[in-house]
């Protein structure tokens, strides 16, 4: 594995995956090594590299839809397990490329013989190493961003995308979370965010009024203010008051943003929350899905001097918490019984549940969303027992 990483360290950022593929091909004797990156829709893989002889400036744009026609690819992504299938003259190994549950895509490796357990283990380790390489190298090139775009992006969507966290999924000891934003044809200003501290997990979901650039700019003020306040150590009501004041000052009373701010204590699952006029979260406990009833304060930017109340509830091990924007609840989406759908998908990973929910809303609107549809799922596993001290 060290040879793989050493080869990448000397490569240009745009050539990192190409060099990685060349070195991996040499080490396992592969006939072909490809990296397929998941696009923003989560429904298609884009092949960025092909044969070891292909140059770094010759990346392909082959699309592999995650449909029944490409079932092994879909299974590898959804199950996050290596899939092996026979091909002409050899075997194809599809290896999930992920870090902390963030499913980036697949390594597609064609081998002359079926991989044994040792080779499969090596490929799995190589795929994880590639995920770390991509995480580091994408800071220096647009290659991966280009690969994830299956359709043109408007200016408003570009701004909105920059407001979201780098990874939409995070697996940690106490929790697993995943989120997704399905943008409307006219961007609606939704955002989500999270940050993990030493003892707390911070979550936020916001929805700016309006559409396109107007909404994107309001969302920028909200997310920028919330992150700045969080990093200064403000409590949730302080973060909310500051964001409300900033939005009021810059929009001059003509714009507002709804939001949920949450802080989850990793030690015991106790939750602090501020509700700025946002739809209620849904809590699944013991197979039953119900709203978490919270008093609603005014949206950010309406009347900053009014202040924000801190409310509390507690998560238990096995709980699932789902945050939504109104695009998941209104118009044709109102026909979907979300609590029933969430309960029916209780065995799915949060990443899969979010895809099911947003796909259901998209289908209900016949693919023509008039408002962004955004959801975040948090599975609370409980605090893992401490590691015993060595005697």
Q: What is the pLDDT of residues 276-332, one digit of tens each?
A: 999 999 999 999 999 999 999 999 999 988 889 999 999 999 999 999 998 888 766
Q: What percent of the chain has pLDDT over 70?
A: 91
State yes or no: pLDDT of 199 exceeds 50: yes
**Between 61 and 277, residue with greater pLDDT:** 277
Query: How high does pLDDT run on average in the chain?
Result: 87
Q: What's 154-380's CATH class?
A: alpha beta
For the CA atoms of 351, 139, 225, 279, what is the dihedral angle to 10 degrees? -20
Sheet of 373-380, strand order? 169-171, 175-182, 373-380, 320-324, 282-285, 288-291
Q: Residue 1 — pLDDT band, cuts 50, 70, 90?
A: low
Contact 35, 15 (CB under 8 A): no
pTM, entire model = 0.85
> Which phi-psi region, left, alpha or beta, contains residue 253 (left: φ > 0; alpha: ψ -120 to 50)?
left
The pLDDT score that the predictor gives to residue 386 is: 58
The pLDDT score that the predictor gives to residue 391 is: 46
The pLDDT score that the predictor gives to residue 389 is: 53
The pLDDT score that the predictor gives to residue 151 is: 66
- Which tokens is 176 given? 């697993």
| Helix (H), strand (E) at residue 76 | helix 71-79
- Mean pLDDT, range 66-93, rounded to an integer: 89
- Mean pLDDT, range 199-208, rounded to an integer: 95
The pLDDT score that the predictor gives to residue 55 is: 45
State yes or no: pLDDT of 51 exceeds 60: no
CATH H superfamily, domain 2-147: GAF domain (3.30.450.40)
| Helix (H), strand (E) at residue 325 | none
Give the start-to-end residue ranges of the domains of the chain. 2-147, 154-380
Contact 380, 372 (CB under 8 A): no
> Which phi-psi region, left, alpha or beta, contains residue 29 (left: φ > 0; alpha: ψ -120 to 50)?
left
């Amino acid at each position: 594995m060290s040879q793989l990483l050493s080869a990448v360290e000397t490569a240009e950022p745009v050539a990192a995956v190409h060099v990685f593929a060349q070195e991996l091909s040499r080490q396992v004797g592969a006939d072909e090594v490809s990296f397929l990156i998941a696009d923003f829709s989560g429904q298609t893989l884009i092949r960025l590299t092909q044969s070891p002889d292909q140059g770094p400036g010759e990346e392909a744009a082959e699309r592999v839809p995650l449909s029944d026609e490409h079932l092994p690819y879909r299974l590898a992504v959804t199950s996050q397990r290596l899939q092996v299938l026979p091909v002409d003259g050899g075997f194809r190994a599809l290896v999930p490329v992920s870090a902390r549950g963030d499913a980036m895509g697949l390594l597609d490796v064609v081998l002359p013989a079926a991989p044994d357990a040792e080779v499969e283990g090596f490929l799995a380790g190589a795929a994880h190493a590639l995920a770390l390489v991509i995480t580091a190298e994408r800071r220096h090139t647009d290659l991966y961003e280009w690969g994830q775009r299956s359709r043109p992006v408007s200016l408003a969507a570009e701004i909105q995308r920059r407001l979201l966290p780098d990874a939409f999924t995070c697996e940690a000891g106490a929790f697993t979370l995943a989120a997704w934003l399905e943008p409307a044809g006219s961007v609606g200003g939704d955002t989500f965010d999270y940050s993990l501290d030493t003892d707390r997990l911070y979550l936020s979901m916001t929805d700016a009024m309006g559409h396109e650039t107007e909404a994107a700019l309001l969302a920028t003020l909200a997310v920028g203010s919330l992150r700045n306040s969080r990093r200064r150590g403000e409590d949730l009501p302080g973060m909310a008051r500051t964001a409300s004041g900033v939005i009021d000052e810059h929009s001059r009373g003509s714009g507002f943003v709804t939001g949920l701010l949450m802080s989850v204590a990793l030690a015991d699952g106790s939750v602090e929350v501020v509700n700025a006029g946002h739809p209620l979260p849904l809590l699944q406990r013991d197979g039953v899905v119900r709203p978490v009833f919270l008093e609603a304060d005014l949206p950010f930017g309406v009347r900053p001097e009014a202040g924000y109340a801190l409310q509390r509830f507690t998560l238990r091990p096995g709980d699932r918490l789902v945050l939504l924007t109104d695009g998941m609840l209104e118009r044709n989406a109102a026909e979907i019984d979300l609590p029933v759908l969430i309960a029916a998908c209780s065995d799915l990973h949060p990443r899969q549940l979010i895809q099911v929910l947003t796909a259901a809303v998209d289908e209900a609107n016949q693919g023509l969303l008039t408002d962004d549809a955004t959801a975040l799922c948090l599975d609370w596993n409980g605090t893992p027992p401490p590691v015993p001290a060595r005697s």
